[in-house]
Amino acid sequence: MRRVERAFVMLNGTVLVLLLATMSVVVGWNVAGRYLTGNSLTWADEVARYSMIWLTFLGSGLALREGAHAAITNAQDALPTQGQLALRAAILVVMFSFFAFMVWVGIDYMNRMAIQKSAALRVPMKWVYAAMPAGFVLMIVHLALIAPKYWRAGQQHSDEAPLG
């Protein structure tokens, strides 16, 4: 199971690196072209914008895993052990519920945008808005993978940061 989890995390990170590289190359090429030849790519702005949207949502699960989202741990730390366990369980239930709700909202919004197309690329906007449910599904998976350790100890092992 640990090997599958590491492969999942590595795949998620690799996709982020590829998206960031694509965005960087397109923007760099566009800037160079604009200043060297006076011409720019008509679609570069859209590719950069949509890549950033996908980067944000696909990276949010890894940020959750690393404890990079805002968190207030003082209340947890001030409670006795049983209180900490109860609070962490409540936090996990709220997070799972919110993420699932956002998947549902994201799919609904994605379907509403199915007929709209982007201006330059003429890509159906549902594929841009698909980043939201995809990102929240990844957050659910990442949370499910780290939840047992978070609930038991309030912090991850040395190679994983606390959830919150």
Q: Long-range contacts of range 67-73, CB-CB < 8 Å, 24 or more positions apart? A: 67/156, 67/161, 67/162, 67/163, 67/164, 68/161, 69/164, 71/162, 71/163, 71/164, 72/164, 73/154, 73/162, 73/164
Q: What is the pTM of this model?
A: 0.85
More confident residue, 148 or 1: 148
- Per-residue pLDDT, averaged over 8-33, amounts to 96
Domain that holds residue 86: 2-153
In this prediction, residue 155 carries a pLDDT of 42
Segment 132-157, tens digit of pLDDT: 999 999 999 999 999 998 888 754 33
Beta carbons within 8 Å of 119's beta carbon, 6+ residues apart: 46
In this prediction, residue 103 carries a pLDDT of 98
In this prediction, residue 163 carries a pLDDT of 55
Query: 162 lies in a domain?
Result: no
d(C-alpha 114, C-alpha 70), whole Å: 33
Query: 161 lies in a domain?
Result: no
Number of structural domains (the chain) is: 1
Query: 163 lies in a domain?
Result: no
- Per-residue pLDDT, averaged over 6-11, amounts to 96
Query: If pLDDT is split at 50, 70 and 90, which confidence band does 5 have?
Result: very high
Query: 159 lies in a domain?
Result: no
Query: If pLDDT is split at 50, 70 and 90, which confidence band does 75 have?
Result: confident
Instruction: Judge whether residue 159 has pLDDT over 60.
Output: no
Instruction: Judge whether residue 96 has pLDDT over 50.
Output: yes
- Per-residue pLDDT, averaged over 97-123, amounts to 95
Query: 160 lies in a domain?
Result: no
In this prediction, residue 10 carries a pLDDT of 97
Query: 148 lies in a domain?
Result: yes
Instruction: Compute the mean pLDDT over every residue in the chain, rounded to the nearest whole number.
Output: 90
